[in-house]
Amino acid sequence: MTQAKQDTITGDVLPVLLDIAQAILDRPVGPADNLFDLGGDSMQAVELMYTLEERFGAEFDPTAIIDAEDMAALAMLLHDQLRES
C-alpha cells in the first residue's frame, strides 16, 4: 500500500495539508485558518495544490482552495476527492 493510500485511509490529509501550507507560507497554519486570510496569494495556492498532487499522486480540483473556508474544510474536500479517485 502506498503512503498516499494509507494517508487517505487513516484520514491524515489534514496534518499533511497543514505541514505543506506552513512551509509555503513560512508561518504557523491551523485547521481553522484560511490560506488567503493568512496573506497567501494565488501563486501560493497553485504551489499548494501542485505539492498536494505530488504528495498524494492525484489531481485535485483547483477551486477547492477558494471554495473551502478553512484548512479543515479543504482537507475534507481533498479527502473526498482521493476516495473518489
DSSP string, 34-80: -TTTTT--HHHHHHHHHHHHHHHTS---THHHHH-SSHHHHHHHHHH
**Total domains present in the chain:** 1
Q: What is the pLDDT of residue 82?
A: 80
Res. 4 pLDDT band, cuts 50 70 90? low
- In the 8-state DSSP scheme, what is residue 27? S
Whether the CB-CB separation of 52 and 20 falls below 8 Å is answered with yes
Closest CA to 34 of 71, 72, 75: 71
Does the pLDDT at position 77 exceed 90? no
Domain of 57, in residue numbers? 3-84
Res. 83 pLDDT band, cuts 50 70 90? confident
Domain CATH number, residue 65: 1.10.1200.10
For residue range 14-66, list pLDDT tens digits in order. 999 999 999 999 999 999 999 999 999 999 999 999 999 999 887 888 888 88
pTM: 0.83
